[in-house]
Structure 1
């Protein structure tokens, strides 16, 4: 962990991880070119909100639904499942990996869900402009493990991410974390309560509304035991 103080308004951020993978298929390129624009929330990037004015996340959807946030949605299975299971909410997903974004857009089209919004970038950019207490539930599913000890400071469960997350979540809102990495579990249990969350449950079995994702299936195939953790924002 870094001893550097947390800066709530950084002028520069490091980003670790991939933004691009293998070459996209023609259909995936079409999703990005033809469909992503209508799904992107406005007011997130500096180009369309240079003053970083607060943005109402409910405005991303028709009506004023409760808004959920998924941080790093991978291939999008969980996000689309939640949108279909809970049509009365709006769910915003953040993912810098463009291949995952293309996969999600394809799943959205196939499922026919409309209560979704997609930010193809860093979740910190979205949290910068969300009003305090505007998120009713948040998900961090199988995040990048950064297994080497010297890289643990790159994980999401650090003050750089957790303090902004606490600010934008409503009092009593649930924050779910799923991981198959024991050191990630330990860091989560240590760091998340420090940021203003209380532990609700720690379980080996998934939540009742959980869809098995490719990352969970990979963990099980490779003999790792997933852990599912729920916190409440206090």
Structure 2
């Protein structure tokens, strides 16, 4: 389980000491605010905002975003007012936390309504501060990573919402890696048997194909170097949800994809 000390060490590689200490202070405030609260897994609730902050640290986000990550459930779950956060951490952090809380409270009945209203509210939040969206995406990503502790019905509802709303938002923002993880985790929760079968098929085929992709990358990189062209060559295999969508769309078996 990650600790605040481990996170602080990571942050010190790109943030100043004063900024790291502010993130620490936000963590201890959240720890006290959520005292006695537990996640479904039985862990102390503060492990969730700490994990969200770690996801944002992977993106090298600024200290205010990390502070908002630590505090993002405080208004909604503990009864502490926005004004109290503002007095403690300043207007910017309080606004970020308030924005994330409002996005969390959105409920949708249909896919069309969800997409239309959600994108409108997301756009409004982005117009004020795009960091609200980034904190919310990190929050949803950690929830998806720990989805197995929920009941089947709730797990499928959250996965469906993630596939229909949050993955497209990540895609629109160019956050490819997060979109891929949203889609694979959502697919696994919605269709565990199909996900497992495709995973096994890909695992059987991956060795040789991965070697081929690596050789092509090396060859192209060598050709670029010879011609004095600066560039980076990368290759990837389709992710599980991408394979599944193509199988359904083209009505083909996994080996044909």
Q: Which has the higher helix share?
A: 2
The structure having more radius of gyration, on CA atoms, is 2
Q: Normalized against structure 2, the TM-score is what?
A: 0.28
Report the TM-score when normalising by structure 1. 0.30
